[in-house]
Structure 1
C-alpha cells in the first residue's frame, strides 16, 4: 500500500480527553506521513460513524472502567460493523478485568499474589489475613479508583472497606513496599519488541504513582532479568490465544530481587512517547503495516464474496 493511499484511523478518546494528547502528537504526525489520517473520536459518543474508519486505535478512553458494560457493548458494536480495533477486541475484553492476573499465574508468570473477592466476601477474606498490610482494588478499575490500602484490623482501614461499592468485585493483594522505596516499572512494547521503559515513583507519604497524586516519572533501562520476566508475561498472553499485540505496557515491581507483574496494560496505556520520538515513529510504521494488512484482508474477503 503506497503512502499516498489515505486511510482513516480513529483515535478513541474520552469526553475529558477528547483531542489527541501531547504524548500521542508525534505518533499522529508520523501516521499522516504514512497516508493515514488520525481522527479523534470519543468512544461513547453515539453520533460517531465508526464505519467511516479503517480501524480504531484505543487511546485515551480513561473512563471506560466506570462504564464497563457500555465498553463491552461498544466493542460488540465495532465487531458487528467489521471495524478492527487495535489491540484486538478479544484481548481488550480479557484485559478489561484484572482477574486476568490469575490466568497469568496459571501460566507460571510471577505476579503480585492476588485473590478475588466479592464485596460481601471481603470481611471474611481480610479476617484470614490478620495484621497484614494489604491493597484492595476493583477487578475493573483504573487510576486507583476505589482502591484502599491499610493494615488488617486497623479501625480506619476497616471503615474504608465498609464504604467500598457493594456491586463490584475486588482484587486483594499484599502491599509491596518496594513500590514506595524503589518505584514501579513500566516497560513499553510495540509489535512484541521492547521499546523503552520508565520508573514511576509515588510522592512522599503516598503509594499511588499516578501523576494526579503527585507521582513522578523518569526514564530507566531495565535489567536482563526484568526484560525476561516481562517477556514471559507477554508470551503467556500469546499462549492464552491472544496473538500479536500492537502495543503493550508491562507494569511491575522488583521485590526481593524478582520482577512481579502488577498489571498488563493492553487497552489504553499511557505510552510515554513524548520523549521517545523514535519509538513513536516505529509504532507508526507498525500501525501502517497493520492497516495495509487489514486492507488486503478486506479486499480478499470482498473478492471472495463475489466468486
Structure 2
C-alpha cells in the first residue's frame, strides 16, 4: 500500500450528485491504495482550481447534457491548463452528441435505424413513418431527457412532439419492442477489455430502463455473438480515431437475431462496479498507470 499520495485526481461530480456514489466507493479506495488521492469536485463549480490536479476522472457529471456549451467550454479550459481528462477530452466531445451513431453506422456497426431532424423538421420526418411506434430523443441528452415514445399519426403524440424544445436537434428511431420484452444490454469494458455485463429492464408499463424511471438491472452473461458485436463497435470507434479509453459501456438490444447498438457511454456511465470489485481495481490500476505516464511522480527526498 502506498503511504502517500503521489497524484491528486479530481473526481468529477455534479451539484445533484456531489459525493462519491456507492457504486464508485471501491474504485476510490483502490485509487488511494495506489497512491492516487481522489478529490470530489463538482465539474461546473467556478471556484475550483483545476490546475491543482494531475488529471480529472469523469464520473457523476450527470447533468452535462443540460449545459452542453458550458461542458465543452470546461473541456477547453482543462486542455488549455494541460490537465488531462479520463476519458480523453477529444473522445468526450465526440461522444457527447449522439450523431456519433450515424458515424458508427457508416463504419459497419449495426444500430437502431436512425434519422436526424431539427425540431422544425420533425413533422416532415415523422410523416415518412406512418403508423409506426417511434422514439424521439435529443442528439445531446441523457436519462431519457426530452425523450418521447408514441405512434406516428396519434394526435396526442404529435402535440407532445410539437412541444419539444425548438433549439435542440433530435434522433428519430423505430421503437424496438425487445427493450421491454427482453431487456437492454450494458457491456462494460475497462482498459480495452470486456469485464462484465447487466441486462436492464423497464418498470411495468414503461420503456425507460434508467433507475430514476423505475428500471432495474441484473447481472448477465452475453453470448459470443453479442460480445463480438460490442467488440466490433469499439473497433469502429478506434478506426474513427478514438481507440484509447479507460472505460466504456456498450448499450444495445438483441432484435431479430442481432445486437443493435443503442449508445456507447464513454463520458459518465454508471459502471456497475459494486458487484465487481476486481473490475474497480482494474480500472484504478489503469487510471494510476495513465497518471504515471502523463506526469511521473516526484522522487521521495532522501535524508543526507
TM-score (structure 2 length as normaliser): 0.96
Q: How does 1:275-294 map to 2 (within 5 A)?
A: 275-294=275-294
The 2-side partners of 1:5 and 1:277 are apart by: 22
The 2-side partners of 1:153 and 1:126 are apart by: 9
The 2-side partners of 1:56 and 1:215 are apart by: 30
Residue aligned with 1:108, SS: coil
Quote the offset at 1:11 in angstroms.
Answer: 0.6
Q: How does 1:1-307 map to 2 (within 5 A)?
A: 4=4, 6-296=6-296
Q: Which has the higher helix share?
A: 1
Write out per-residue CA displacement over residues 132-169 of structure 1, whole angstroms, 9 at most, x where no aligned residue.
Answer: 11000000000000000001001111111011000110
The 2-side partners of 1:73 and 1:91 are apart by: 15
RMSD: 1.2
Quote the offset at 1:5 in angstroms.
Answer: 5.2
Name whichever of 258-267 and 236-245 sits farther off. Answer: 236-245
Write out per-residue CA displacement over residues 107-128 of structure 1, whole angstroms, 9 at most, x where no aligned residue.
Answer: 0000011110000000000011
Quote the offset at 1:243 in angstroms.
Answer: 2.4
| Contact kept in structure 2, 1:55 and 1:86, CA below 8 Å | yes
Residue aligned with 2:267, SS: coil
TM-score (structure 1 length as normaliser): 0.95
The 1-side partners of 2:211 and 2:92 are apart by: 24
Residue aligned with 2:226, SS: helix
The 2-side partners of 1:215 and 1:192 are apart by: 28
Runs of at least 5 residues in structure 1 that lack an aligned partner in the other structure: 300-307
Runs of at least 5 residues in structure 2 that lack an aligned partner in the other structure: 299-304
Q: From the superposition, tell whether residues 283 and 161 of structure 1 become closer, same or farther in structure 2 (CA, over 3 Å).
A: same
Task: Write out the 4+ residue segments of structure 1 that deviate beyond 3 Å after TM superposition.
Answer: 2-5
The 2-side partners of 1:22 and 1:4 are apart by: 24
